[in-house]
Homo-oligomer: A and B are copies of this chain.
Amino acid sequence: MSEVTTGRRRPGRRPGSADTRGEIMAAARRTFAEKGFDKATIRGIAREAGVDPALVHHYFTSKEGLFVAAMELPVNPEEIIPLLVAGPREETGERLVRFILTITADAQARQPVLALMRTAMTNEQVVGMIREFMTHALLEKVGEALGVSPLRMEAAFAQMFGVVLVRYVIRLEPIASVGIEELVALLAPTVQRYIDGT
């Protein structure tokens, strides 16, 4: 709360100043945590940051884009969909598994995701925010693009989420050390089966 006050009253701050983008992201983090992803609006976040909503659109394009930037997520769901629907349908599982394993192999990219998960394990508000974002910004959209039911999308997500946790948080061997391609060969048929509905 003190941050809000400081942000609003700092003398000489104006839209477009060097830290406006950062202040919008800080306002977004507070708003998403308080209201969840679904109920938060660009207008409300702009008001919280003391800027014009058009500026928020200018910097972040969409509420999804603002969430991704504010939480420092390594990828925007909107970028995943073209990647998944391009290329042969029977290799979709392989593309998805390789994409997730490649992104999370970068320690800097996975750190904010794991930090968010840590908070979620003990904070109901953060869980709610993640649940809404995952449901409406990620799984529903990918599922619709691929024609896969929500339950099957969630089973695929659970497989990859579990692998990332076992590889990078619990660090069981050999899964923590094995190469990406060996894991792709092992996991892609699982994800493909969920996609195929068989």
Residues of A within 8 A of B (CB): 114, 117-118, 120-122, 127, 130-131, 134-135, 139, 150-152, 154-155, 157-163, 165-166, 169-175, 178, 182, 186-187, 189-190, 193-194
Contact = CB atoms under 8 A, between A and B. Distances in A.
Protomer copies: 2
Contacts of A165: 158, 161-162, 165
B131 A154 contact: no
A172 B190 CA distance: 20
A151 to B, nearest CB: 5
A140 to B, nearest CB: 10
Contacts of A166: 154, 157-158, 161
Contacts of A169: 120-121, 127
A141 to B, nearest CB: 14
